[in-house]
Structure 1
């Protein structure tokens, strides 16, 4: 792994731990702060909304600044935010600290993915982004289970204190390893960044990202009570299942990066179809502990097969000004996180049992399949004026006013 990408991966490990560890601590937090578990679950929603709303604000505010100082600053923001999470005296201040922390999330992954892609040859860009996201998936293998175990043993505040330490390491790694002459903002500045948002494929990719995340978090937010109440696992065993979920994410991330460098949209569509089937199978056979554990592993694998392809699709489609679009795509993932957590919570409130909750995820994943198929169909229908198919991802202009979707060429990522 190139050292600059390693630095980004360390930071993404910290960010991933911050985002996901709260899932394993919901009951601890709810008990300690005197709120219901469903209200504690909204800490997931609040973080996701912080990402969604903070991403464009931070991206636009930093559009004219050099990339390295921005990345260092965003990593430092996570240190400060997690410190305030650790000392929050009540639920609402904890929520405020989570939202503040989340403001740097989307911008970091958006700008970081553009930087990572710029450090490698064009046909390796998806793999480079996958390497950066490896820190996020490793957080689910190491950070989240370790953080959950630490929280069970010493209280949930100890988990956030540990994340502060990891965050300080990530700040130092970026400052030391990322070159000062790394890719700079696009020449057109903020205007160029905003202009690329007129491209249809950018918005379709973000919609797929939002629906994919919603399908995950409609169920994953409540995976601990699902596994204990439906599958019959002990609380201690759930920690190991979360570890297995993280292992699946890591493997899926590697596979997704390589497949995206080969066949981008077929990778996305195929993984989404398999997710729909997996949710249905989880509904039918989730009462069996062994089957549920295996499906959680496959679930983690499939969700991260999709992430690198969607991120590089946005970066390539918005090549004239990729930072804002790539950041918004991270916001789209987290709009899905928030929406999925809320949809899952509303379904439970309306009387849907934990056993039937995977069907909610299946419906959302199916909607993502439909949008992905539509996106690819629009690409295939578009041809150049000479009748030949376009061979580049994104949108170009057939004339001064009429946009034309370009077709992705295998190998470009």
Structure 2
């Protein structure tokens, strides 16, 4: 049953949505913390750093596959039970990883944890959307994405510090503890949602993929994520090899990006429900400009540091609007909408670093990753333009509530 409508920004968001954001903090910390733990993991398990880096790829691939797979498999299960079960699996995966001395077992636990993480994102996003009016969808998604932003600010650097002090396993134990707290929060505050008399059918939900608007949003999300991570994945060597900063600056600049991401998420959550398409235009276009400036000014450390923080703002300002747009065009298929969002972001997270690596391997240098990101962000702007042209046809002052009330003419569901 669709959520009731209310004026954009006027509705209160229930505490359960904040609990879901807290859960995402634990999930996001795990997803990104290995970036700061690769030397410790490689040295302890006797593998190369590139091999240890495959653990990050394993998680991303698990997220892409796991979101639609688990969304479909759990479609008829009670939502709170599903969320709790996925968190339990996620936590157990980290306990096993912390106890293991085997690279193969660690690899398997990363895939397992990613599957659970993807399922939680898909189901949790649908639950969050169901608990708020349509005019507060972007705000609810901003709270969930905010958990990821805080993970980048606190969780990921914290995991790196734990790894340096007590070994990489301590970071996995810390995530397991955070997951236990999240489980308690879900059980205490997320309401029971009974299985409807007419449970949703997977075949019916799959019809959203006959809607061209869904594919346009999917591609735009992937371009958005790829634009950010084609550059961000290689930020550390750019800072040290091109900008001339010492390695001690890298965690601080990563933290600055996280702070910018948190600010951007808050801004996006506040404005996207009132100006959905305008927010997407502004965020993607601004990201393209910021990335182009990074490429031009890569040799100037102050400029790169400031622009990295600004990129966090512009990129994550866009994310709540993109999420809300997918839920709008998916209409009743809210669980698969959440799954599609998750897969789309992680497709971009996989393609972006790959493209960045290609331009580096071609001898174009680390600044070329920023040019790549700028081009991808510009393509994302074109994706938004196509959505406007073939969908609602209007950009300004278009709330997500209005978008649901007047769905696009191309919709087939």
Give the superposition deviation at 1:304.
1.1
Indicate whether 1:277 and 2:289 are aligned. yes
Q: Contact 2:95 / 2:173 at 8 angstroms: preserved in 1?
A: yes
Indicate yes or no: 2:97 matched with 1:85.
yes
CA distance, structure 2, for counterparts of residue 358 and residue 150 of structure 1: 31
Q: Which residue of 2 aligns with 1:347?
A: 359
SS of the residue aligned with 1:103? helix
Matches of 2:225 and 2:131, distance apart in 1: 28
Alignment partner for residue 109 of structure 2, among 97, 104, 125? Answer: 97
Residue number among 138, 141, 144 corresponding to 2:156 in the alignment = 144
1:222 aligns with 2:251: no
In structure 2, what is the equivalent of residue 49 of structure 1? Answer: 61
Q: Which of the numbers 11, 23, 29 marks the counterpart of 2:35?
A: 23
Task: Choose which of 392, 401, 408 in structure 1 pairs with 2:403.
Answer: 392
Instruction: Give 1:318 deviation, angstroms.
Output: 1.2
SS at match of 2:272: helix
Match of 2:305 among 285, 293, 299: 293
Q: What is the aligned partner in structure 2 of residue 308 from structure 1?
A: 320
Deviations 1:243-264 (A, max 9, x none): 2111111111111112211111
Distance 1:189 1:405, change over 3 A: closer
Alignment length, in residue pairs?
Answer: 395
The whole-number CA distance in structure 2 between the counterparts of 1:301 and 1:120 is 25
Greater shift, 80-89 or 43-52, is seen at 80-89
* 1:199-218 Cα shifts (integer Å, max 9, x gaps): 11111111111111112222
Whether the aligned pair in 1 keeps the contact of 2:223 and 2:379 (CA below 8 Å) is yes
CA contact (8 A) 1:25 1:148 kept: yes
Instruction: Tell me what 2:181 maps to.
Output: 169
The residue that corresponds to 1:240 in the other structure is: 252
Q: Confirm or deny that 1:375 pairs with 2:384.
A: no
Change over 3 Å in CA distance of 1:249–1:278 after alignment to 2:
same
Structure 2 length as normaliser, TM-score? 0.88
**Correspondence 1:180 to 2:180:** no
Partner of 1:126: 138
Distance in 1 of aligned mates of 2:234 and 2:198: 41
Q: CA deviation at 1:242?
A: 1.7
Structure 2 unaligned residues grouped into runs of 5+? 1-12, 395-400
Query: Which stretch shifts more, 188-197 or 241-250?
Result: 188-197
Superposed CA offset, 1:197-240 (max 9, x none): 22111111111111111122222222222222222333332222
- For 1:35 and 1:216, how far apart are their aligned partners in 2? 29
The answer (yes or no) to whether the contact 2:265–2:316 under 8 Å persists in 1 is: yes
RMSD: 2.5
Given the alignment of the two structures, is residue 231 of structure 1 paired with residue 280 of structure 2, yes or no? no
- Equivalent position of 1:386 in the other structure: none
Deviations 1:158-210 (A, max 9, x none): 21121111111111111111111379698433222212222111111111111
**Relative to 1, partners in 2 of residues 1:223 and 1:320: Cα closer, same or farther, differing over 3 Å?**
same
Deviation at 1:37, TM superposition (A): 3.9
Tell me: CA distance 1:381–1:215, structure 2 relative to 1, closer, same or farther (3 Å).
closer
Mean CA deviation greater in 220-229 or 2-11: 220-229
Give 2:85's match in structure 1, choosing from 73, 78, 86: 73
TM-score by length of 1: 0.88
- The separation in 2 between residues aligned to 1:94 and 1:184, in whole angstroms, is 39
* 1:404 Cα deviation after fit: 4.9
Question: What's 2:398 paired with?
Answer: none
* Structure 1, unaligned runs of 5 or more: 383-389, 407-413
Q: CA deviation at 1:57?
A: 0.9
Q: Is the 8 A contact 1:396 1:405 kept in 2?
A: no
Classify 1:279/1:26 alpha carbon distance in 2 versus 1 (closer, same or farther; 3 Å): farther
Secondary structure of 1:13's aligned partner: helix
- Tell me the equivalent position of 1:387: none
CA deviations on 1:10-56 (whole Å, 9 max, x unpaired) are 10000110111122223433444444444443333221111001111
Q: Residue in 1 aligned with 2:202?
A: 190
1:3 and 2:15 correspond? yes
